[in-house]
A and B are shown apart, each in its own frame.
Chain A
Amino acid sequence: MLASEAVTTILRRVRDPQGSQHTPTVVLRFLTDVQRSLNALYADVVESASFIVEPRVMHLPLAATLPSAIRLIDIQTDASRDLTMLKDWRELALLNRSWFRAIANQHELWAAVGRDGFVVWPGVDERRTLTGVYARLTDELDLTTEIELDASYHPLMFDLVEGCLLMRGRMFGPLVAVTERLKTGFQARNRTTSES
């Protein structure tokens, strides 16, 4: 769906089809931010890119390594082998008290360290290329661009942007209904995500 169609739909919903209270620029800004936040939560728009790991380097900053990544989902070796993901990087210390210096022939595990970094473990003695699969920072929308999230996310997107506009206009009556719809929508989405 084109962003312009989304803008029209949302402005109709808040009874401002001419955009006199909320300009299309404002709606597009909310749409852009909502799309990015939802993609950070649900990782719908993903891409992969390779990156180089220097000898024995384990801790890598996310933004410098994969600039358009907002959340790392998987790391693969050049032989398309998936590294095992650790939920908590502190578990590395349970595996090996010298984890930050451990050396082996190949990387085995990876773990996110905060939201802005990750470790690949153990270190290897030579420079290696790995491939990161990640949720991407979606582009800034303008009227001619397509919404990148899958159509199944559009109801959530529209409700969130509608909520932003109602909040902006201090229209709390209609906002209550939108908030309830959003709670149900997020619950359903979380259920779908956990099942898949």
Chain B
Amino acid sequence: MKADILSLASVLAAAQSDGTTLSAYYDDAMIVLAKASWFVDVELVPLVSGQAVVNPPVGTVRVHALCYDDSDLAPTAIRDFESLSVHWRDLSGKPYAYTQESETTETFRMVPIPTVPSKPFSFIHGEPLGVDYPAYVVATFVSVPPVDVPRWMDLPLAFGLLAREFGRDSAHADPAFSSACSSFGQMLLGTVSLDAS
């Protein structure tokens, strides 16, 4: 729980840390951990006929895989599509690949354009994969920053947050404390750096 980690960080810092800043650093840390593939969700996206562009789930920071109907789509660069056909955007059929059109829009274009609408969602046995998996949908394997993390991560995360909090320029900056927290956090968490900058 976020509250537990912030409270632990405060105990470690002997109440000298700034709670608001720590809270912001916690949110940053969730993004870093999601980008490092610590948390992966599967989300289904329904399509209408002729829809080639897919919006990943809200908050997605990393896409690991896109699957359409029964195929794992190959991530492909726009240049590669262009070398195949100058009309690649207009091809229609069953998608076999996808590309990210631009980093600003963060949407994905499937190639070719699917012509069949998704079957309705009806989950009896459990979602998203399984016997209820609807035909002609897109399954996205994505990382979204979690709200809470497993409890064993409380201490390493608290160290990571304090390393940033006391390493920044402030009235209570303490480089020695920051450095010690950083090395303890690394020892317990491995090689993931929680510095989002």
Question: A interface vs B, CB < 8 Å?
Answer: 26, 29-30, 33-34, 36-41, 54-59, 63, 70, 90, 93, 97-101, 113-117, 123, 137, 160, 163-164, 167-170, 172, 175, 179, 182-183, 186
Beta-carbon nearest neighbor of A98 in chain B: B70
Judge whether B180 and A172 touch: CB under 8 Å: yes
Complex: how many Å from CA A179 to CA B72? Answer: 46
Contacts of B37 in A (CB 8 A): 114
Judge whether B188 and A90 touch: CB under 8 Å: no
Contacts of B130 in A (CB 8 A): 54-58, 123
The yes or no answer to B139 lying at the interface (CB within 8 A) is yes
With A93-B65, A114-B40, A115-B38 known as contacts, the answer to whether A33 contacts B8 (CB < 8 A) is: yes
13 further interface pairs, Cβ-Cβ under 8 Å (given A54-B130, A183-B187) = A33-B155, A36-B152, A36-B154, A36-B155, A37-B155, A37-B156, A37-B188, A54-B131, A93-B65, A114-B38, A114-B143, A167-B180, A167-B181
Residue total for B at the interface (Cβ-Cβ under 8 A): 45
Closest 3 A/B residue pairs (Cβ): A114-B40, A33-B155, A57-B130
The yes or no answer to B57 lying at the interface (CB within 8 A) is no
Residue of A38, A115, A183, A186 with highest tally of chain B CB at under 10 A: A115
Mark the stretch among B76-84, B85-93, B110-118, B121-129 that contacts chain A: B121-129
Contacts of B14 in A (CB 8 A): 168-170
Query: Helix, strand, loop or mixed for chain A's interface?
Result: helix
Beta-carbon nearest neighbor of A37 in chain B: B188
Judge whether A115 and B39 touch: CB under 8 Å: yes
Contacts of B133 in A (CB 8 A): 56, 100-101
Judge whether A114 and B39 touch: CB under 8 Å: yes
With A114-B143, A116-B40, A170-B177 known as contacts, the answer to whether A56 contacts B125 (CB < 8 A) is: yes
Jot down 15 A-B pairs with beta carbons below 8 A, ordered by A. A30-B155, A37-B155, A40-B150, A40-B152, A57-B126, A58-B130, A59-B128, A63-B150, A98-B71, A113-B40, A113-B141, A116-B40, A163-B184, A170-B14, A170-B177
Judge whether A175 and B180 touch: CB under 8 Å: yes
Task: Give the distance to chain B from A61, nearest Cβ to Cβ, in Å.
Answer: 9
The yes or no answer to B42 lying at the interface (CB within 8 A) is yes
A-B contacts, CB under 8 A, total:
122
The yes or no answer to B168 lying at the interface (CB within 8 A) is no
Contacts of A90 in B (CB 8 A): 64-65
Complex: how many Å from CA A179 to CA B185? Answer: 12
Contacts of B8 in A (CB 8 A): 29, 33
The yes or no answer to B13 lying at the interface (CB within 8 A) is yes
Beta-carbon nearest neighbor of A41 in chain B: B188
Beta-carbon nearest neighbor of B96 in chain A: A97
Judge whether B42 and A116 touch: CB under 8 Å: no
Contacts of A183 in B (CB 8 A): 187
With A56-B131, A57-B126, A100-B139 known as contacts, the answer to whether A168 contacts B13 (CB < 8 A) is: yes
Contacts of A172 in B (CB 8 A): 176-177, 180
Complex: how many Å from CA A38 to CA B180? Answer: 18
Contacts of A113 in B (CB 8 A): 40, 141
Beta-carbon nearest neighbor of A114 in chain B: B40
Task: Give the distance to chain B from A147, nearest Cβ to Cβ, in Å.
Answer: 15
Task: Give the distance to chain B from A107, nearest Cβ to Cβ, in Å.
Answer: 13
The yes or no answer to B12 lying at the interface (CB within 8 A) is yes
Beta-carbon nearest neighbor of A172 in chain B: B176
Complex: how many Å from CA A115 to CA B153? Answer: 11
Complex: how many Å from CA A59 to CA B13? Answer: 40
Beta-carbon nearest neighbor of B139 in chain A: A100
Binary interface encoding of chain B residues 51-67 relative to chain A, with 1 for a CB under 8 A from any of its CBs, else 0: 00000000000001101
